[in-house]
Amino acid sequence: MSLFQGTILIRGITYLMLFVFGIAGVGYLLGRVTIRGVSLGTAGVFIAALLFGCFFYPQLAAETSSYTGSALKIIENLGLILFVTAVGFIAGPGFFANMKKNITSYVLQGLVIILAGGLSAIACILFGQATMTTDPKELTAMIVGLLSGSLTSTPAFSAAKATVDPALEDIVSVGHGISYLFGVVGVVLFVQLTPKFVHADMETEKQKLVVVRRAEQGKRESGKALLRLDPVGLMPFSMAAVLGIFVGMIRLPLSAQGLSGTTFSLTTTGGCLLLSLIMGHFGRIGRVNILPERNTLQVFRELGLMLFLTGAGISGGANFVKHFETIYFVFGVFMTILPMIAGYLFAKYVLKLSLLNILGSITGGMTSTPALGTLINLTGTDDVASAYAATYPVALIAVVLISQLLILLF
């Protein structure tokens, strides 16, 4: 590389960083806008990135030369690793205990919600194939993107992008962006409106809460006496990320012949999530503490989500206008509402859960952190987070697997 080319590259990266943090700033301001108790939160970053990609991507590409796509991919993947690894560590200490105790309730609830989402996606794919002229592979990529947005699932979004043909990645991003807004707002509205529709007495419902006791506090207390390799836990976090990337690269054949295109892998998303869940569960190796500080995990989770949504949003926004159709928004609404209704009916009439446990498990099954925050504010108690914590990891893994299977099958 010549000195001139190196200067262009450095200048281009500087411009890109300016845009990334500018988008983050605007996105968080957008996320703070609250209308009748409803706000976008971190989703505002994705909306801002999509709009930037729609209107300013050509200028960005001109300033960053031929490195734009690669640079955005690096930002996106770095954010992905930070986000899913932090989520795994946060959920890990109580994940297996919750799974053992609630295998017939919250775990099944998560699976039912994601299964309903998968079936609604299949229905949209079949409807689209019968009534639209879109290429089948492009249609599937769009629907899977819509599914991840409807369930506000960043890991499913990234897994879908990693599984489809590289030429279809931006279509997945567009689908995710089309449905993400209603995916956030829809669940937030659902947990606020359902108690009103059933005329619930919130004080009575709070007394019915079944609190799932998580093991995290005990693990962190015992971890204080162990050897910590660094002050905030960057070493175990990095170890989980490295091992998770390697695990995600393992490909298993889905047919006896092992034909090309019939392999399955966890991808970086599933690999990092699995390793951090396991490390978070055990919390130690001998006398060594492998559980990062919770503040570290919260920062990495938010930073990772911001970087991932920015990188994916800019590239997806560049083709947003090209691929947007009203029918896709309708598909997204359908894939948000059906899983919530299915989850509510299953929890109420089969699992016999109380209303707040139902709503808490729905926020976990829909992987909706904003909706959980809304529910906590609505009820005035953190106890509703127990149902969320028990359902969330199961739903997270299930939606990643279903997203990949849809791409492989259709």
pLDDT by residue (tens digit) across 160-197? 887 788 888 888 888 888 887 788 778 878 888 888 88
Structure confidence at residue 258 (pLDDT): 44
pLDDT by residue (tens digit) across 254-300? 555 444 445 666 778 778 888 988 898 888 888 888 889 888 988 99
Strand 227-228: give its sheet, edge to edge: 227-228, 288-289, 284-285
- Contacts of residue 147, defined as CB under 8 A and 6 or more positions apart, other chains included, come to 117, 118, 120, 121, 156, 175, 179, 335, 399, 402, 403, 406
Structure confidence at residue 322 (pLDDT): 65
Tell me the average pLDDT across 349-358: 88
Q: Are strands 288-289 and 227-228 parallel, antiparallel or unpaired?
A: parallel
pLDDT by residue (tens digit) across 104-142? 788 889 899 999 999 999 999 999 888 888 888 888 888
Structure confidence at residue 1 (pLDDT): 47
Q: Comparing 409 with 337, which gets the higher pLDDT?
A: 337
Q: Comparing 189 with 220, which gets the higher pLDDT?
A: 189
CB burial of residue 232 (10 Å; 0-12, 13-18, 19+): middle
- Determine the Cα–Cα distance for residues 328 and 367; give it in Å rounded to an integer: 21
Structure confidence at residue 343 (pLDDT): 93
Q: Comparing 210 with 362, which gets the higher pLDDT?
A: 362
Tell me the average pLDDT across 60-73: 67
Please give the C-alpha separations between residue 377 and each of 62, 192, 343, 385, in angstroms, as whole numbers: 46, 10, 22, 11
What is the pTM for the complete model shown? 0.73
Q: What is the mean pLDDT of the chain?
A: 80
Structure confidence at residue 341 (pLDDT): 94
Handedness of CA 299, 305, 306, 307 (dihedral sign): positive
Structure confidence at residue 3 (pLDDT): 44
Structure confidence at residue 117 (pLDDT): 92
Structure confidence at residue 33 (pLDDT): 82
- Could you count the other beta carbons within 10 Å of the beta carbon of residue 249? 12
Q: Which of 54-58, 104-108, 296-300, 349-353 has the lowest mean pLDDT?
A: 54-58
Indicate whether 362 pLDDT > 50. Answer: yes
Tell me the average pLDDT across 66-72: 72
Indicate whether 301 pLDDT > 70. Answer: yes
Tokens describing residue 400 = 């990643």
Indicate whether 37 pLDDT > 70. Answer: no
Helices (H), 198-350: 202-207, 216-223, 234-249, 267-282, 294-317, 320-323, 326-349
Q: Which of 12-16, 252-256, 331-335, 398-402 has the lowest mean pLDDT?
A: 252-256
Indicate whether 336 pLDDT > 80. Answer: yes
Residue percentage of the chain with pLDDT more than 90: 17
Q: Are strands 263-264 and 284-285 parallel, antiparallel or unpaired?
A: unpaired
